[in-house]
Structure 1
Amino acid sequence: MAASNNVKSFFEEIGDIAYFTGRFFREVFKPPFEFQELLRQCYNMGNRSMLLVGVTGFILGLVFTLQSRPTLMQFGAESWMPSMVSISIVREIGPVIIALICAGRIGSGIGAELGSMRVTEQIDAMEVSGTNPFKFLVVTRIVAATLMLPLLILLGDAIALVGSALVENIKGEVSFLLYFNQVFDSLKFSDIIPATIKSFFFGFAIGLVGCYKGYYCSKGTVGVGEASNAAVVYTSMLLFVIDFIAVFVTDIFFGI
């Protein structure tokens, strides 16, 4: 009985999220457009996440290169290090790791903020006053997350390659110029374009789930914590699903 109730609630929530997504697409193209709030959200999500993403990317490049170098040295393939690291980070590791970091930073923040507004009846007050809270609170945050995450991923990838180049410069005495020449020789548009496209979907998923959990928060202040936690957990699972679909589609169209 409990299992059937869990399955039923799962599919009900899937339906609610689908309706929430449909409502977003109906509202996003209808005036008025909240450009000022959109810019504010872009600043909050983008500029305030740059330090976290930069540190994460730098450490990612350092660790990945340090862990891979001994194995390549066993086969005498140290010269392949720039190509291997750059393709791995740009295609897969960078977007996924940075998206997960942003899911914790941005998704939980959205869930907690909207959840606190719901339990303190600020959203209800906006509806009574004639303001469209969905347009002002939800649409702007989802669009901002969709736009900002690809930029954060590009920043994180670039800093990760700098960290990798630093290790190669110290351990292998490879100059930065030679390292990045090999990086740009090995990278192709078929590596960069699919990774960039899927990063937009990562940002959309982070904004959507965070807004959904926060907008429909209940149970008072306890629900705020639950909404914030659920936003991170659900988003992390969804990111892996989107990544699997993206890799599958990329393999069909690009053959990689």
Structure 2
Amino acid sequence: RIFALHCDPRLEVGRLGTRVGPITSACDLIEVRLTSPGGHTSRPHLTADLVQALGLLATQVPLLLTRHVDPRSGTVLTWGAVHAGDAANAIPQSGLLRGTLRTADHATWTELEEKLRALVAAVLAPTGVGYVLDHVRGVPPVVNDEVSTGMLRDAAVTVGGEAADASTEQSSGGEDFAWYLEHSAGAMARLGVWSGTGKQRDIHQPTFDLDERALPFGSRVLVQAALSALAQAAS
């Protein structure tokens, strides 16, 4: 078995958030590079309007994708960068759209690349704009098995008492611990790092800080979970 802990500033020090099943989401990187002959904005009919195509791609593909996947899968395509052109009166020859494609469901994740490619092709077909789509497969969801999750939960209670046990929600963030779980049973839990007073600082902000009392608690929990796993294997 394999175990992991991830900092969680929403939980106080001495608490451990556990969840059976998916606790994070899959995350793929998407990049679409568009090309056009370019031209003057007074004559868009003589060329392929790349900026308009970018706008269609950015707005229509995320919307259409919601109608091609199970809404319970927590699938979301969000663009984080868009670049095209410099002059107000010139249709550019190239453009770029980058974003992330996330899903909470492992089965859905395996189907997303094919669905996305079909939607991008369908949206861009009437525009005459050329494109290259790079779909970089990222991490699958972290899916905790029930037995391993129970070991982490019991370990937290052994180390910190009943108050140490906390439930946690599935996150839409990605976590490469998921690759280990493709080969071994295991679980990841959320380690409380908030002091209990003051502002809860997000883990992805430059102001993030943690109460270091969480470190020995987390270490003891992992040791206790490992001992439980070894005892089960030996029995």
TM-score of the pair, normalised by structure 1? 0.25
More helix by share: 1
More strand by share: 2
Decide which structure has the larger Cα Rg and report it: 2
Kindly indicate whether structure 1 or structure 2 has the higher relative contact order, using CA contacts under 8 Å at least 6 residues apart: 2
